[in-house]
Amino acid sequence: MEGWIVLGLILIVIAYFFGRIGFAVEEDKERSEYAKTNETIDKAINAEDNKTRNLVINTLKEIGCQPEVDDKDRICFKYQGEEFFIDADNDYLFVTLWDTWWLCVDLDNANVEHLKEAINLNNIRNIVSTVYSIDEDNKQMGVHCKAVILFVPSIINIGDYLKIVLDDCFKAHDLLKEQFIRLNFKQEKHESPRVVVKGFN
């Protein structure tokens, strides 16, 4: 009889352990399903974050800017006190960065033609394009910087990459000013009258 009791206890213990093992297997399956669901959700979130427009906004926040979307659906922000905006679309891998109206010159200014020539020379020496537009109503010429750049998540240190392009806009400003000064200097040099020194006729 004691053998039956021992055998019964052994069977109860075995059943208990198999029950626990079965429960653990079911629990692992549930955890596995939750993990798969979480992975799917994470992938969807990452895919959404890695879309071009969202990537631009997140990158701007990472470099300390406060991006906003204007009524024309452009991403506007300030960088080093200068106002910029970016045209970005989730369907494209390239974005267009603009620094508009950073310089305005009256059209009746005698140096407008020199400024146009300086803009052309500037575009030869810089990755950022410098362009001008004419505001007929206000009789002004506005100078703008434009850069079309690849913007994908696989770019290493994408924040630094964006900062470099933004800094190149400031370099374009400085280069244009240098070109403009050189052209004006050349003009003045050619137009200056001959100086006659007394005693050296």
Whether the per-residue pLDDT at 113 is higher than 50: the answer is yes
Cβ proximity of 172 and 126 under 8 Å: yes
Please report the beta strands in 38-183, taking only residues with DSSP state E, as ranges in sequence order: 68-69, 75-79, 82-87, 94-106, 129-135, 140-150
Q: Does any domain span residue 130? A: yes
- The CATH number for 86's domain is 3.30.1460.10
Q: What is the largest CA-CA distance in the chain?
A: 145
pLDDT range class, residue 141, cuts 50, 70, 90: very high
190 forms beta bridges with none
Q: Which residues contact 113 (CB under 8 A, 6 or more apart)?
A: none
**In angstroms, rounded to a whole number, what is the distance separating the alpha carbons of residues 166 and 7?**
81
Helix (H, G, I), strand (E, B) or coil at 174: helix
Cβ proximity of 162 and 75 under 8 Å: no
Q: Does any domain span residue 32? A: no
Among all chains, which residue has been given the structure tokens 């009789």?
Answer: 139
Q: Does any domain span residue 17? A: no
Q: Does any domain span residue 185? A: yes
Q: Does any domain span residue 14? A: no
Q: Does any domain span residue 69? A: yes
**In angstroms, rounded to a whole number, what is the distance separating the alpha carbons of residues 87 and 94?**
9
- The per-type count for the chain, helices as H runs and strands as E runs, is 4, 6
Domain that holds residue 161: 52-190
* pLDDT score at 181: 84
Q: What is the mean pLDDT of residues 41-64?
A: 80
Token pair belonging to 164: 């470099």
* Total domain count, the chain: 1
Q: Which of 53, 57, 55, 45 is nearest to 90 (CA)?
A: 53
Whether the per-residue pLDDT at 55 is higher than 60: the answer is yes
Q: Does any domain span residue 178? A: yes
CA contacts within 13 A on the Cβ side of 95: 24
Q: Does any domain span residue 33? A: no
Higher pLDDT, 131 or 1: 131
**In angstroms, rounded to a whole number, what is the distance separating the alpha carbons of residues 138 and 45?**
47
**In angstroms, rounded to a whole number, what is the distance separating the alpha carbons of residues 78 and 47?**
27
**In angstroms, rounded to a whole number, what is the distance separating the alpha carbons of residues 88 and 93?**
8
For CA atoms 189, 193, 199, 201, the dihedral sign is positive
* pLDDT score at 182: 82
pLDDT range class, residue 111, cuts 50, 70, 90: confident
Helix (H, G, I), strand (E, B) or coil at 1: coil
